[in-house]
A and B are shown apart, each in its own frame.
Chain A
Amino acid sequence: MATQHSRSAARLMMAPAVFLLLVWMLVPLSMTLWFSFRKYLPLRGGDLGWAGFDNYVRFVTSSSFWPSVMTTLIIVGGVLVVTVMFGVLLAILLDQPMWGQGVVRILVIAPFFVMPTVSALVWKNMFMDPTNGLFAHLWRFFGAEPISWLSEASLPSLVMIVSWQWLPFATLILLTAIQSLDSEQLEAAEMDGASPLSRFFYIILPHLSRAITIVVLIQTIFLLSIFAEIFVTTSGAFGTKTLTYLIFQRVLESQNVGLGSAGGVYAIILANIVALFLMRIVGKNLDA
């Protein structure tokens, strides 16, 4: 047990870090709140005074608001489903002893190191291009009409690109979880007459539930704010405008900082609603 003395020393030593973190978080947050109540148009006169709730009303009543919320949720949900599903399968695959395991594992992790902008451009130009992309060639090889991915199937394409980036993360966490499974449990299930499929559903999947929860929570935080992938592929066209992208357009394209800030506050609220639901659904898995 810590003594009174060591406790106060600990507090004193933690204070700078806590202070820095608070400032780091509170300053941008209060600035966003402040601007969201101002009529602030940098190129059209700057700060034009108090705006009340005008920005909030305008942001929500804009015809792009609800579609953008939907798009955000679809992308986040889609990527979560894809990464968790394939992550589990890949983790099981990588857990099998095989030749060249080390190299394969590094290759699997590699996409995570590619910058979002770069990977999105690679996907856009090398895979999804309707005339020269690999997919177009593949489609033509089988005599099919190439799909213009980013305009005809814009959301699935984006989900695909983002999933590709986040799959390594999910795989890595799930792989470590699978490796911690007691092999005697699998053997016991085998003796109990469980087929490989039942062993997966009754033993492996429940064992992974906590890791899956962590993957879902962490990915959600990052996926709610994806931007670069949309910026370099569709620029928000073809129904790919997420809430983040809408805020960007309001602030930089319309040069309306007040309106964008109000959008930022909505984004915070949305993130919290999502977090609340997630904790309700999967949070119990985190209890020991």
Chain B
Amino acid sequence: MGRIQLKQVKKSFGDVTVIPPLDLTIEDGEFTVFVGPSGCGKSTLLRLIAGLEDTSDGVIEIDGKDATSLPPAKRSLAMVFQSYALYPHMTVRKNIAFPMKMAGVDKAEQDRRIEAAAKALNLADYLDRRPGQLSGGQRQRVAIGRAIVREPAAFLFDEPLSNLDAALRVGMRMEISELHKKLDTTMIYVTHDQVEAMTMADKIVVLQAGVIEQVGSPLELYRTPRNKFVAGFIGSPKMNFLEGPEAAKHDAHTIGIRPEHVEVSTTEGLWQGKVGVAEHLGSDTFIHVHGVPGCDPMTVRVGGEIPVHHGDTIFLNPNLEHLHRFDAEGLRIQ
């Protein structure tokens, strides 16, 4: 129902190539997240799939049919925009009904689908309000409702949570994941937040400068990042990289170790350093350690609380099983 395939898809604006030729397959029912730093072309890629931008080259297939030159409305995709793009002069009910009205769905069916969507998204009490009278989270839900009622082959989300506050974001994350389980429809989700990517995705596509760096499940990316960029981008706080003699000991140009894979000791260890800033989160403490050769500062995670102070000397023991090795080009050494 919603298998999307990109074949050698390319996008350039004038002389500037934003997305060099790229291949990607999104399987039916999969929750795929495009993640990358701002300006990496992830939104452009989504808009290419949506049909809001023309491809410069290549073929986009939806369900095996060439959709490259189809107008957006004919691709049976629904999109949720970053600004929600609700129609401000229409009530919630009319907003949700709009795509069906345009498609000529009969009135009874419209009402049935609106009721169903309102129930699923907890919007029943707001149907006669206007978007201006709703909170950010409610607007978000209306935008999703407007997408659901079209019963599309796939949903496209363009950074839908970036306008919400932190607490609401976590809640909506869950709701969207739930929705995906319930509808079992293909979803493509664009975000710059790797936490969103890790928690929601079946498959993550990491992009940088329009190039796909790696495609894989969240844990695959976490365990075996293909290169330094993915290693640094996935995981929070980010991986520590060491260069120089420490890396040479492991026959690598750079070695990487995640903060959670370093043990802290006050008496002995492989590396020694001074405590800089310590971030106490209660459940964890992140310590920035200065003076470790080849990496300054190194971030380490300690479970619970630890009695260290600024300026204390501590010792670090990396868990060598979780050491990542990269060559001079930044590629992973197996």
Residues of A in contact with B (beta carbons under 8 Å apart): 182, 184-185, 187-195, 198, 202-203, 206-207, 209, 288
Contact = CB atoms under 8 A, between A and B. Distances in A.
Interface string B243-274: 00000000000000000000000000000000
Contacts of A202: 87, 98
A188 B52 CA distance: 10
B289 interface: no
Contacts, number: 59
Nearest to B79: A191
Contacts of B72: 187, 190-191
B4 to A, nearest CB: 15
Contacts of B316: none
A206 B89 contact: yes
A189 B85 CA distance: 9
B287 interface: no
Given A185-B87, A203-B87, A191 B82 contact: no
Of B83, B85, B132, chain A has the most CB atoms within 10 Å of the CB of B85
Q: Which 4 A-B pairs have the closest CB atoms?
A: A193-B73, A188-B85, A192-B99, A184-B85
B102 A198 contact: yes
B77 A193 contact: no
Interface residues of B, number: 25
A182 B85 contact: yes
Tell me the interface secondary structure of chain A in the complex: helix
Contact of B50 (A191, A198, A203, A207): A191
Interface string B38-56: 0000000000001110000
Nearest to A206: B89
A191 B102 contact: no
A257 B83 CA distance: 62
A141 to B, nearest CB: 43
Contacts of B71: 190
Contacts of B82: 184
A288 B81 CA distance: 23
Contact of A190 (B73, B78, B103, B146): B73
Given A206-B89, A207-B89, A192 B150 contact: yes
A234 to B, nearest CB: 42
Contacts of A187: 52, 72, 79, 81, 85
A203 B87 CA distance: 7
Contacts of B78: 191
Contact of A191 (B52, B83, B88): B52
Contacts of A195: 102
6 contacts: A184-B85, A190-B73, A191-B50, A192-B73, A192-B150, A194-B73
A191 B143 CA distance: 13
Contacts of A189: 87, 98
A219 B143 CA distance: 38
A184 B102 contact: no
Interface string B87-111: 1111000000011001100000000
B266 to A, nearest CB: 54
B52 A192 contact: no
Nearest to B71: A190
B89 A209 contact: yes
Contacts of A188: 79, 81, 85, 87, 146
A198 B51 CA distance: 19
Contact of B102 (A185, A194, A288): A194
A106 B324 CA distance: 63
A192 B146 contact: yes
Contacts of A192: 73, 98-99, 102, 146, 150
Given A193-B73, A195-B102, A202-B98, 9 more contacts: A184-B83, A185-B86, A188-B79, A188-B81, A190-B52, A191-B72, A191-B79, A192-B73, A207-B89
A31 B75 CA distance: 71
Given A184-B81, A184-B82, A202-B98, A191 B73 contact: yes
Contact of B99 (A184, A185, A193, A209): A193
Nearest to A198: B102
Contact of A182 (B52, B73, B79, B83): B83
